[in-house]
Amino acid sequence: MIITDNHMHLYNHLRLKALKQFRQVGGTHVLLVSLLSHHYGILPSKGEDFRQIFEEHVRLVEKANEIVRAYAVLSVHPAEITILSKRWGVDRAAEIMKEALEIAGEYVSEGKAIAIKSGRPHYEVSEYVWKTSNEVLQHAFEVAKDVGCVVQLHTESYTREGMEEIAKLADGAGLSRERVVKHFSPARIDEFRELGFFPSVIAMGDNVLKAAQQGDRFVVETDYIDDRDRPGSVLGPKTVPRKIRELLQKGFDEDFVMKICKDNVERIYGIEMEI
């Protein structure tokens, strides 16, 4: 049986040991997402500086594949606009992020990554930063359309109105809404089906069970951060396998698990998964 964590980070705490814990409780596949530039000790002055980050992340994913089946997602986190604008100003920060997204797209084209991550700030920003962040996000959608990949979406807390705004950006870029995966999704599967986006349900509390009760059009994640200052945040690496086991105990069968952990992942990311 395949059990997939759709969104996990490895940083400075357990590192690859986190994947060993994941495997010990039944985890088999994981999408590993790169972090913010400052996590790598870098303050980019141009998009090309992100290549160092992406190279380091791809090497980490190669090592991860000795433990489980791991896939690289390359992130240009929306919070970069705040970090970079302190040094370079908002407009140049946005240019750097757009350049970095194009480089991430190159890695996808070369088969080194399966998706990119973008979005808009999850915290309060000025109207101009908000507008500019949306422009960066639309560029991410354009890159994804060009290279044929998914955008994992990092945004403010879920609202239907907010997702409808983002849907218009995806439509404007010509990117299928099903290739937009909402990271850290609530268990509102029916609404996501109506919107056309694909929810990556955060495995907190009874979210996975609530999602399953609405159908099988979702994937599951921990958003494990692997920060030694916040061990276990957001959720620990064992969480997804344990939540999948709870579904089986509640009467959902292995076919259902394979739908959310294999079939959906294969369909939206365009990959083939093996145990």
What are the 10-residue block averages of pLDDT along the chain, 275 residues in total? 98 98 98 98 97 98 98 98 98 98 98 98 97 98 98 97 98 98 98 98 98 98 97 96 98 98 98 90
CATH number at 4-269 = 3.20.20.140
pLDDT at residue 113 in the model: 98
Measured between alpha carbons, how far is 7 from 141 in angstroms, rounded to an integer?
Answer: 19
pTM over 0.75: yes
Measured between alpha carbons, how far is 52 from 248 in angstroms, rounded to an integer?
Answer: 42
- Residue 235's closest CA among 208, 256, 254, 211? 208
Considering only CA atoms, give the Rg of the chain: 18
pLDDT at residue 149 in the model: 98
Measured between alpha carbons, how far is 91 from 127 in angstroms, rounded to an integer?
Answer: 13
pLDDT at residue 274 in the model: 85
Buried b (16+ CB within 10 A) or exposed e, 217-255: bbbbbbbbbbbeeeebebbbbbbbbbbbeebeeeebeee
pLDDT at residue 206 in the model: 98
pLDDT at residue 157 in the model: 95
Measured between alpha carbons, how far is 142 from 249 in angstroms, rounded to an integer?
Answer: 42
**Side-chain-facing half-sphere of 167: CA atoms under 13 Å:** 16
